Amino acid sequence: MIAVLGFFSAALSISNIWPQVWLSCRRGRTLGLSPTGSWLAVALNACWLTFGVLIADPAQVVTHAVVGAGNTAVLAALLATQPQLRSARTLLRTAAGAAGLLGLAAISIAAVALVGIAPAVVAAAFGSVITLIGMAAALPQLLGILVDRSRDLSGMSATRWYLGAASSASWVGYGALLHHPAVVLSAASAWSAPSPPARCCGRGGRSSSAAGPAGRPPCSSPPDGCTCTSRGPRSLPDGVVHRAAAGR
């Protein structure tokens, strides 16, 4: 039962990144993505992959190997479509945390392979650290959405966020059954984050931002999964884009 839930959680995690990969890599839409959050996503996948190796958990290893590849593709698309993010000063600001996480993963592996510390001991300490960092890693993207209400979110996939919520819920159950608090806390922190479509569409299909002329909601740059009508944004499935947004 636990193994089935683990691989079900892995399948959800593996599937949730690919709508974003399609949107960013195939269609070149990256507006709204946080560069700091994207760097941290890649580094955290590497850390959780390391954690999975340390505890000999194939579900964790497979999940984070595949999802890490997807997050790396999204990061590459972000850097390719927004050249200003490739400057040395910007990279120092946005990628420093990710570099620190990769260094921490390397130290953990060295502690087992070279020093001879038991993998379970290293995994317990390493998992606690990356759980706390993972909870904080959601903040750059979340704060960017909440603080700047006019931010263009057209490069963010709504489907990814909904699949991510389901994936996080599954990992919470899986971690609880295995008595791994690091897995539970990390998944629960991701589960609690609101999705961009909720910020865009609000209740009844209306924008949660300030109203535009004649009492109508503003209609600029809705995120993927929302489009604008005379009555405000409405939800659309992934891949269906308003004609005004299709030219971006």
Secondary structure (DSSP) of 10-47: HHHHHHHTHHHHIIIIIS---TT--HHHHHHHHHHHHH
Is residue 156 a part of any domain in this protein? Answer: yes
Q: How confident is the model at residue 176 (pLDDT cuts 50, 70, 90)?
A: confident
Mean pLDDT of 48-73: 92
CA distance to 44, 91, 104, 211, per residue, from 98 (Å): 8, 10, 10, 39
Query: Which element (helix H / strand E) includes 183?
Result: helix 181-191
Structural domain boundaries enclosing 109: 2-196
Mean pLDDT of 37-61: 92
Is residue 134 a part of any domain in this protein? Answer: yes
Is residue 226 a part of any domain in this protein? Answer: no
Is residue 128 a part of any domain in this protein? Answer: yes
Structurally, how many domains does the chain consist of? 1
Q: What is the pLDDT of residue 190?
A: 63
Highest-confidence segment of 73-87, 163-177, 230-244: 73-87
Mean pLDDT of the chain, nearest integer: 76
User: What's the DSSP call for residue 240?
Assistant: -
Who contacts 92 (Cβ-Cβ below 8 Å, separation ≥6)? Answer: none
Q: How confident is the model at residue 40 (pLDDT cuts 50, 70, 90)?
A: very high
SS3 222: coil
Is residue 230 a part of any domain in this protein? Answer: no
Q: What is the pLDDT of residue 248?
A: 42
Is residue 165 a part of any domain in this protein? Answer: yes
With 0-12 / 13-18 / 19 or more C-beta atoms within 10 angstroms meaning exposed / middle / buried, residue 152 is middle
Q: What is the pLDDT of residue 133?
A: 87
Is residue 87 a part of any domain in this protein? Answer: yes
